[in-house]
């Protein structure tokens, strides 16, 4: 989780939603990424997606453990299910877009095809709360102040 949290900090410093991901094979980190949706101008540039886009053929997804600072969204959760990863460890829950919490992806398929654990949720929440209390310099001026109170409260 330390590697994923360090990646999330990088995203925070770039004014991206602070979510980090790390992939492990036999206990060794084989890739890491953080959200880059604004930098890439691509709404699909989530940390999990970026890691798996770069994953070489030398690694089977069924042998890969995914560690992410926040519960994967429905898109990323669908990717993990499709790939058939070995294990998912996530930090905080995602009360708005979570593939497990909100959309209950696993209930739809009746069982979890891989192990799922939650670890150190308070650190992921703290990062997201810090992010959502900042002013979004890319937003129109009339929308800038609305973000801080609304989004930060949802995470509490």
Relative orientation angle of helices 2-13 and 121-132, to the nearest 10 degrees: 0
How far, in Å, CA of 154 to CA of 95, rounded?
Answer: 7
CB of 7 closer than 8 Å to CB of 116: no
Which pTM value belongs to this model?
Answer: 0.84
Helix axes 144-155, 121-132, angle to 10 degrees: 160
What's the mean pLDDT when you consider all of the chain?
87
pLDDT in tens, 48-107: 999 999 988 889 999 999 999 999 999 999 999 999 999 999 999 988 888 888 777 666
How many residues appear in the chain?
156
Report, as residue numbers or ranges, the catalytic residues. 48
Give me the domains of the chain, ranges plus CATH numbers: 2-155 (3.40.140.10)
What would the pLDDT profile of 121-137 be if each residue is shown by its tens digit?
Answer: 999 999 999 998 887 67
In which residue are the tokens 């069982």 written?
A: 111
Question: Tell me, what's the pLDDT at 151?
Answer: 54
User: pLDDT at position 15, please?
Assistant: 92
For the chain, what is the largest distance between any 2 Cα atoms, rounded to a whole number of angstroms?
50
Per residue, the 3-state secondary structure of 56-84, as one string, reads CCCCCHHHEEEEEEECCEHHHHHHHHHHC
For CA atoms 124, 104, 38, 59, give the dihedral sign.
positive
User: For residue 4, what pLDDT is reported?
Assistant: 98
């Amino acid at each position: 989780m330390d590697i994923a949290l360090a990646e999330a900090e990088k995203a925070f410093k770039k004014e991206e939603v602070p979510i980090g991901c790390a992939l492990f094979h036999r206990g060794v980190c084989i890739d890491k990424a953080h959200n880059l949706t604004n930098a890439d101008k691509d709404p699909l540039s989530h940390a999990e997606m970026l890691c798996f886009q770069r994953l070489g053929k030398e690694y089977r997804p069924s042998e890969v453990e995914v560690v992410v600072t926040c519960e994967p969204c429905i898109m990323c959760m669908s990717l993990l299910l499709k790939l058939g990863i070995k294990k998912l460890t996530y930090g905080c829950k995602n009360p708005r877009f979570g593939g497990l919490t909100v959309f209950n992806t696993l209930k739809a398929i009746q069982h979890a095809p891989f192990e799922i654990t939650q670890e150190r949720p308070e650190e992921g929440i703290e990062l997201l709360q810090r992010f959502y209390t900042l002013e979004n310099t890319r937003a129109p001026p009339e929308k800038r102040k609305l973000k801080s109170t609304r989004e930060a409260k949802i995470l509490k």
